[in-house]
Every structure is written in C-alpha cells, then in structure tokens.
Amino acid sequence: MGAEFLRIQLRRAGGWICESICPGSEFSINHSIQLRAFFMSRKVYVAGNLVPAEQATVSVFDHGLLYGDGIFEGIRVYGGRVFLHREHIDRLYESALAIRLEIPMTHSEMIKAVEDTVKANDIIDGYVRLVVTRGSGSLGLDIRRTSDPQVIIIADTISLYPAELYETGMRLVTAATIRNHPGALSPRVKSLNYLNNIMAKIEGTDAGTVEALMLNHNGEVAECTGDNIFIVKQGVLKTPQPDSGILAGITRNAVMKLAVAAGVTVQECVLTRHDIFTADECFLTGTAAEVIAVISLDGRQIGAGTPGSITKDLLNRFRKLTQT
C-alpha cells in the first residue's frame, strides 16, 4: 500500500512537517494545501517586526543557539486574552536579571508585542512561546563579546496531552536523571538550556509514559520534566517547596490560590516518593498541561487509581479562572 501514499512536506518556522496522504481518503491533497497555507500564514515576532514564519530567522552565531544562553516563557491564550500575562512577563525579566541578560524592551513594550503577535495570528485559544536570546557573538562563552539580544514571539495552538488523560489520569515513572543541582544553575531561571528535562523526558517516553518525575540531589521530589507536582493527603494539598529544586510555576501559584479560596489547606514542604505512593490524590500543573491527574507512579496505583475529588474540583476552578 506504500505506493498508494504521497509524501508532502510542509515548511513551518524553519522545520519540515511531513504528511502521508492516501488518494481518495478524507485527508486529501486539498487538505494538505490548506495546512500549508495555515502554516505559511503564521506571523512570528523577531527583531522588532512581525514576519512570515518562514522568514523568521536569527544568526547562527547567536549564543541562544550555540550555548542555550537565553530565557523563555510559555504563556496560554484563552478567549483571545493572554492569561496571567503580567506574571509571566515579570518572571521573564527576573530570569533575565539572574543571568545578566539585558532585554532590549520595557515590560509594557513586551506585553504589547505579545498581544500584537496573538492578534496577528488570530489566536483565540492557544499558546505563546516568548524567547529572549543573548544575541550574536564570537565562538566563546564571554558574554561581553555578544550583542543585539533577540526577542522572538511565536503564537500558535497547542495540545500537550491527549484529551482522554484529563478524564482517566496519567501514569508517571521516576527518571534516573535528577534535577540539576541548584548550586549549579537555579531552577527558578527558565533558561533555553532544557537538556536536563529532555533527558528525563526521554526516560519517560521510553517507558511508555508522557511525563516523568524528577528527584533532586537529595533524593526528594522536585518536579516533572515540564510540570509541577501536587499530592492530596487527608484533605491537605501538598507540593514541593521552592528550594526543592523547582521552577515556581505560574499555574502552580494560581492553583494554590484557588485551593486556599476553596478552603483547602496548602503546604509547601519536602516530599519523597513515599509521600506520592501513599497519597490519596496526585496531579500536575503547568501552562500547557493546566491541571491533570496522576493515577500511578512506577506502576504503583495512587489512591483509588482515578482522578480525585479535590483534583477535579481544582481543574474546574482553574478552567473557570481562564474564562474570567
């Protein structure tokens, strides 16, 4: 049947997307042309301008590419509104300050650039990837030999996990790759160098799960590769404290506030795998993930093995928050 298929390559923001088309199927060549037009219509903010995605480029000498020297934010859009926009921009500038990166825009200019990019791409419900690189420089680590930091803003749609997992809950495995030591690089910096998380993510996907739990250098629970983690024990909501080696997630903070408003006691504390194994409920939070239940860790069922009542309530409250 291979001869009956056509391979169509669609260029999108510097990469290629290949689609297999079977003549006579619902996924027709006309559909492929529509997809290509969709990708080509995307506008990316780079170097102070909105340009077609295929024209959005940076120098190969940019230290963001050469060394992962830069920062980023992932931001959601709901109903055409950039969600928790100020909080994300504040964290971006805090990350920049921590690594001595001077962003060539003010807070208000950055906020406007994000909103303009969302509007230019007609995003109603979607995702923004905001990147700031160190800029072009020599083939060396000296930041004094770099110049012209690049601000890149991409607005698109996103679906991180299959929809059914929000109903059934997801499984986790513990990665052997530990979270970077906070004495080496603070996890509170949302840097472009995500290799630590990527290696742990590979372990998860190799084990057949879509996420993996990461421990810190003390063997305590830190976070997952892209999400913060919570447990519920006897009605108390618990999550690793900031010095456990976590990124202080924007969604994490929002969910904690929602829990307090709902009368749930919230504790930031040291957690171990024992606490997760013996929890009544477990869930993850993240900008892309939102709120999603965890039903097992390393093959061991958590609680009843289904999303718990507090988890489901917080998910409903969070979704209402996104619409206000």
Percent of the chain with pLDDT over 90: 85
**Active-site residue identified among 190, 201, 312, 320:** 190
d(CA 245, CA 227): 13
d(CA 56, CA 53): 5
The predicted-structure confidence for 166-199, as pLDDT tens digits, reads as follows 999 999 999 999 999 998 999 999 999 999 999 9
Is there a single domain that holds both residue 170 and residue 285? Answer: yes
Asked if pLDDT for residue 3 goes beyond 70, the answer is no
Residue 24 confidence (pLDDT): 40
Using CB atoms within 10 Å of the CB of residue 108, give its burial: 0 to 12 exposed, 13 to 18 middle, 19+ buried: exposed
- Asked if the structure places residue 55 within a domain, the reply is no
Mean pLDDT of 27-36: 52
Residues 6 or more apart whose Cβ sits within 8 Å of residue 140: none
Is there a single domain that holds both residue 152 and residue 169? Answer: no
Output the six-digit token pair for 285.
């939070």
Is there a single domain that holds both residue 111 and residue 250? Answer: no
d(CA 45, CA 63): 19
Mean pLDDT of 9-15: 38
| Structure confidence at residue 159 as a pLDDT band (50, 70, 90) | confident
Domain that holds residue 298: 165-322
- The pTM score is 0.86
Is there a single domain that holds both residue 82 and residue 125? Answer: yes
The predicted-structure confidence for 272-294, as pLDDT tens digits, reads as follows 999 999 999 999 999 999 999 99
d(CA 133, CA 128): 16
C-alpha triplet 151, 152, 157: angle, nearest 5°: 150
Average pLDDT, rounded, for the chain = 90
Residue 137 confidence (pLDDT): 96
Helix then strand then coil, in percent of the chain rounded to 5, is 30, 30, 40
| Structure confidence at residue 41 as a pLDDT band (50, 70, 90) | confident
Domain with residue 94: its CATH number is 3.30.470.10
The predicted-structure confidence for 54-98, as pLDDT tens digits, reads as follows 999 999 999 999 999 999 999 999 999 999 999 999 999 999 999
238 is catalytic: no
- Asked if the structure places residue 72 within a domain, the reply is yes
| Structure confidence at residue 158 as a pLDDT band (50, 70, 90) | confident
d(CA 118, CA 177): 36
Q: How many domains would you assign to the chain?
A: 3
Residue 33 confidence (pLDDT): 53
Q: What is the distance of C-alpha 81 from the center of its chain? A: 18
Is there a single domain that holds both residue 125 and residue 175? Answer: no
- Asked if the structure places residue 98 within a domain, the reply is yes
Output the six-digit token pair for 8.
């169509």
Is there a single domain that holds both residue 200 and residue 273? Answer: yes
Output the six-digit token pair for 198.
């990527």
Output the six-digit token pair for 143.
């930041």
Residue 38 confidence (pLDDT): 52
| Structural domain ending residue among the three candidates 102, 122, 156 | 156
Asked if pLDDT for residue 300 goes beyond 60, the answer is yes
Write out the E strands in 151-235.
151-156, 170-174, 212-215, 221-224, 228-233
